[in-house]
Amino acid sequence: MLMEMYHSSVLLKESVDGLTIKPNGVYVDVTFGGGGHSKEILKRLGEDGRLFAFDQDEDAQRNTIDDDRFTLIPQNFRFIKRYLRFYGVKKVDGVLADLGVSSHQFDEAERGFSTRFDAELDMRMDQSGGVSAFDVVNVYEEEKLADILFQYGELRSARAIAKKIVESRSKGKIKTSFELKKVLDAFVPKAKEHKILAQIFQAIRIEVNQEIEVLKEFLSQIPELLSENGRLSVMSYHSLEDRLVKRFIRNGLFEGEPEKDFFGNIKVPLKKVGKLIIPTHQEIKENNRARSAKLRIATLA
């Protein structure tokens, strides 16, 4: 079992409280990971309740919970509606999402997510196929690489960094995280080394796993999935994700403004519940991963 290798679930009580669990309800944890949130939901469900969980990571799938009320779906949660319908589920009472990379994925050196370890450039959450970090760094054209670093890493020096990577790879493939770090030395002053490298690795990881597209596809399906008074509870860890979640809850759109009717009213599918929730100083002290977490809760409008 790998559960003990996963760190404590962030905002565990607050995120599950946000779902206002009904004992006989149907719930979905779209980011199963170590199973922390799922186990908390199951504690609050009665014998007729049901919980479905999604996770495309094989490591996470080994944490499956032996409970007749629980079903683990080994798929990306961008396909939430499709796979729930396979199980005969059209409406659910709550959906929980803990976005980003799990502590376990960061701590597994060979996955290549962390700047702390020298590992092959991979960063795939689903290791069964698809584009890897190696492909992004060694194959992508300079302009596309620069766009990714700027949009997903929010790096002002994105074009210069992309140019340097392309120049370096022309002399030989960049195969590992430490080789990439060495290429980037000139752009990483010691005082800001961790922050800038984290932004670069984040940008590549988001591209590899299509995290922004996945989040948009997922959120777009929520209004149709939630039953009356159903809840959405979402934790994000960087501003790109949080902005998308906030905008969708407020406007039902990811960009632009919703149309107004003759009287100036706007019709949006969701409405926020309560205020933005962030971890306490104590939780951050006990679990460093919590430091950038933001929890937003919504229900049908």
C-alpha separations of 215 from 31, 76, 263, 269 in Å: 12, 10, 32, 17
DSSP state of 120: B
| Partners of 96 in the β-ladder | 29, 233
Closest by CA position to 55, among listed 97, 9, 13, 109: 97
| Partners of 233 in the β-ladder | 96, 297
What's this model's pTM, rounded to 2 decimal places? 0.90
Q: Are strands 70-73 and 270-272 parallel, antiparallel or unpaired?
A: unpaired
3-103+211-300: CATH topology: Rossmann fold (3.40.50)
pLDDT tens digits for the chain (301 residues)? 444 445 578 999 999 999 999 999 999 999 998 899 999 999 999 999 999 999 988 887 888 999 999 999 999 999 999 999 999 999 999 999 999 765 545 445 555 556 677 889 999 988 777 899 999 999 999 999 999 999 999 999 999 999 999 999 999 999 999 999 999 998 888 788 888 998 999 999 999 999 999 999 999 999 999 999 999 999 999 999 999 999 999 999 998 888 888 887 888 999 999 999 999 999 999 988 889 999 999 999 8
C-alpha separations of 289 from 2, 99, 141, 161 in Å: 18, 12, 33, 27
**Which residues 6+ apart lie within 8 Å of 61 measured at CB?**
32, 55, 72, 74
SS3 content of the chain, % helix, strand, coil (to 5): 45, 15, 40
Q: Kindly give the interhelix angle for 239-251 and 211-225, rounded to the nearest 10 degrees.
A: 30
Predicted local distance difference test score (pLDDT) of residue 102: 55
**Which residues 6+ apart lie within 8 Å of 275 measured at CB?**
none
Where in the chain are the domains? 3-103+211-300, 106-209
Predicted local distance difference test score (pLDDT) of residue 114: 62
Predicted local distance difference test score (pLDDT) of residue 192: 83
Query: What SS3 string covers 263-281?
Result: CCCECCCEEECCCCECCCH
Q: Do 132 and 208 touch, CB atoms closer than 8 A?
A: yes
Question: Can you tell me the distance from the alpha carbon of 27 to that of 94, in angstroms, rounded to the nearest whole number?
Answer: 5
| Partners of 54 in the β-ladder | 73
CATH class belonging to 106-209: mainly alpha
